[in-house]
Structure 1
Amino acid sequence: MLRSCQFATVTGALLFVALCPLSASAQVKITPVLEGLDNPSGLCIHGKTGHLFVATHPAVLRVAPTSPAKKFVEVDAFKTDIYGKGPKYDIGPLGVALLGEEHLIVGDGSLQDAEELVRVFKIGANPPTTPTAADNAAFKLGPIGPGDASAKGEGNFYAIAVGPKAFYVTSNGDDTKGWILKCDIKDGKPGNLEPFIATKPLVNVDAPVGITLSPDGKQLVVGQMGEVNIAGDSLLCFYNPDDGKLLKSHATGLNDIAGLAYSPKTGKLYAVDYSWVEPKNGGLFRLDITADGVKAVKIAGLDKPTALAFYKEGNLYVTVFGTVPEGSSALAGSLVKIAAGL
């Protein structure tokens, strides 16, 4: 049921939006792939092998989507940091993405801001016999320490979007800036990691987190999470990936957009809402862009989803933190699958 509609002003446009998600009429089947994961927060899929790479608190896992799924440790020996307001979570590696077929980009969350790195690891077609240690990356990008661009330095590299000429990383650190970082790619190798778009001054909302590129590569699409203790403040923002110019920004009515992905079959845009302030309202949403703004259509309820990725045939995978029962030491995280059709 819709809440009252409001006008929302954002840089570059005045948009009329319904600040409440709608529900999709069709139900989707959610199939567990792996359970008992430790705070899974990042996800990507190898286009050739179909292997999934899942960032969890202690390690990056490689998952072969067989039945049952087979789990391997790809990268380990990360340190631990703590993240959150209210509930606090142990975190390590965060965002993951493929750079070609032979390199895995991993955004760190295991150290202090101003010390964290974006690491790029060489990977093979098959799982490694021995995991690669976090310190043994092929390339180490950063850190971005305190300075003119960032008063505190940057860290918590949440998510990564890879284009043909550069990749982009959402970051946490200087809350007055809300940086998206950029790393140019030359001859398949990463260059320097640099601050690229200061989002907070442009849209007046904190925390870029979810990020992807539009199917034609012409727009950098960002989920501005907003404050975790404020409901309904997440934005969907579009930038020029070459010069960083803000193209448009829409209110969504969602609480905390954590991940974004386009369906390879339908071209539709999907988001996961972690929903810190109201976990029961979190889930998977389709974001329909209309002349009036964005309509968020709820596809499935999920307990603190963190990332999503489509495989080329259309199957969708989502990482979920879940909730640990009171008094339990069990790991509540999971990787789930929704069959092609979205």
Structure 2
Amino acid sequence: MTLKRLLCCCVTLTAGSMLAWSASAQERDGGPRTVARNLDNPTGIAIHSATGHIFVAERRGVIRFYRDEGRGLKRAMEINEFPTDQYGKGPIYDIGPLGVAFMDDEHLVVGDGSRKDTDELILVYDVYEDPPEEPASAASAEYTLGPLDYDDEMKAEGNYYGVVVTGGAIFATANGDDTKGWIVRSVIKDGDPQPLERYIATKEAVAVDAPVAITVNSDGDLVVGQAGEVNLPGDSLLTIYDPESGELKAEYETGLSDITGLAYSPETGKLYATDFSWADPAEGGLFELIIDGDELETRKVASLDKPTAIAFSRRGSAFVTVFGTAEEGSDMKPGQLLRFRASDL
């Protein structure tokens, strides 16, 4: 979706949703703009390269945000009827589909988290230029990848949080066997995704739990946020893998607690991360990650309330999802989609 020229003095409401471009004090001071409210634990963002439409995964399904000329920003449920699972230590959150990425302009890859690990899937759906009149069912995927086989020695895998497509394959981070920390892969052959396989055992490579965020750098490498233990502050790593061999090329300590999203700015090439900061949400936010040789430094761009994903538009705006915190007495879900202008970063 092309969202660069929306007016900050307007608030657009559509039935059953809250969509806003409002000039709050935070926005006037250069903070993020709230694009959409009433999201239920949003966890993934993908932006369609041709239309600019924004696809957000949240507990209830996948929502498409698009600009309707003369009527402001609108939303349409793209895919629904997912089951609901739960995740968490301490706070427990309801989750559905988690990660989203485009295989091409006509296919959306959805990393699922709505089922038990024994049944978890990666799903590929047809998408079209225009929003659907009726949402597709979760069961209507063109390709269904998984579930992976498991036994007493090989645990089930699921919670496919981060998804990317690069080098002729789909890659996704997984949460199942904490002794392995798998990144899974589906090779794309003649346009068709092949069976899902366990590919990179990240825990064995770096001795830190939980690959969560994943993106691709300018060399085509997999760039992974190793979130670490949710109750251990400051243990997240940034790691880089060769997608063809699975070889670990680099790892960096970040000082962040729970990296949930990674993305490069198309304008500057700078790398940004969202930190959920499970143990202390007040420390969470959006950060720039600055690599200098073997060292990595962070710069905090903004404090955010439990951020979960980031994606860039082709013009350099960063879109970030947050779980947020429910307001007392409100029937609205606390999740939001935020926009940072390139100048805010």
Q: Return the TM-score normalized by structure 1.
A: 0.89
> Partner residue of 1:35?
37
**Is residue 138 of structure 2 the alignment partner of residue 134 of structure 1?**
yes
Q: Is the 8 A contact 2:252 2:294 kept in 1?
A: no
> Partner residue of 1:251?
253
Cα distance, 1:329 vs. partner? 4.4
**Is residue 48 of structure 2 the alignment partner of residue 46 of structure 1?**
yes
> Partner residue of 2:94?
90
Cα distance, 1:196 vs. partner? 0.5
Measure the CA separation in 1 of the matches of 2:191 and 2:340: 32
> Partner residue of 1:202?
205
- Higher relative contact order (CA closer than 8 Å, sequence separation 6+): 1
Q: Is the 8 A contact 1:28 1:299 kept in 2?
A: no
Task: Pick which of 324-333 and 84-93 moved more.
Answer: 324-333
Q: Is the 8 A contact 1:166 1:182 kept in 2?
A: yes
Q: Which of 266, 272, 275 in structure 2 is aligned with 1:273?
A: 275
> Partner residue of 1:118?
122
Please state whether the residue corresponding to 1:114 is helix, strand or coil: helix
**Is residue 187 of structure 2 the alignment partner of residue 184 of structure 1?**
yes
Cα distance, 1:215 vs. partner? 1.7
Cα distance, 1:161 vs. partner? 1.1
Cα distance, 1:290 vs. partner? 1.1
Unaligned runs of 5+ in 1: 1-26
Aligned identity (percent) is: 52
Cα distance, 1:328 vs. partner? 4.8
Cα distance, 1:146 vs. partner? 1.4
Q: Which of 316, 319, 327 in structure 1 is aligned with 2:318?
A: 316
Q: Which of 65, 78, 82 in structure 2 is aligned with 1:78?
A: 82
**Is residue 98 of structure 2 the alignment partner of residue 107 of structure 1?**
no
Q: Is the 8 A contact 2:167 2:243 kept in 1?
A: no
> Partner residue of 2:168?
165
> Partner residue of 2:308?
306
Measure the CA separation in 1 of the matches of 2:154 and 2:279: 28
Task: Pick which of 284-293 and 60-69 moved more.
Answer: 60-69
Task: Pick which of 317-326 and 125-134 moved more.
Answer: 317-326
Q: Figure out how many residues of one structure are paired with residues of the other and give that number.
A: 314
Please state whether the residue corresponding to 1:223 is helix, strand or coil: strand
Q: Counterpart amino acid of 2:172?
A: V
> Partner residue of 1:289?
291
* Deviation per residue, 1:239-283 (Å, 9 max, x gap): 111010011111100010001000001111100000101101101
Please state whether the residue corresponding to 1:280 is helix, strand or coil: helix
Please state whether the residue corresponding to 1:192 is helix, strand or coil: coil
Q: Is the 8 A contact 1:165 1:185 kept in 2?
A: yes
Q: Which of 314, 334, 337 in structure 1 is aligned with 2:336?
A: 334
Cα-Cα RMSD:
1.4
Q: Is the 8 A contact 1:63 1:72 kept in 2?
A: yes
Measure the CA separation in 1 of the matches of 2:264 and 2:116: 32
**Is residue 64 of structure 2 the alignment partner of residue 59 of structure 1?**
no
Cα distance, 1:96 vs. partner? 0.3
Cα distance, 1:151 vs. partner? 2.6
Measure the CA separation in 1 of the matches of 2:196 and 2:134: 29
Measure the CA separation in 1 of the matches of 2:148 and 2:118: 5
Cα distance, 1:324 vs. partner? 1.4
Measure the CA separation in 1 of the matches of 2:162 and 2:151: 23
Cα distance, 1:177 vs. partner? 0.4
Measure the CA separation in 1 of the matches of 2:323 and 2:77: 19
Cα distance, 1:52 vs. partner? 0.4
Q: Is the 8 A contact 1:33 1:68 kept in 2?
A: no
Measure the CA separation in 1 of the matches of 2:67 and 2:174: 30
* Deviation per residue, 1:212-239 (Å, 9 max, x gap): 111221x210000000000000000011
Measure the CA separation in 2 of the matches of 1:306 and 1:143: 25
Unaligned runs of 5+ in 2: 1-28
Please state whether the residue corresponding to 1:146 is helix, strand or coil: coil
Measure the CA separation in 2 of the matches of 1:145 and 1:304: 33
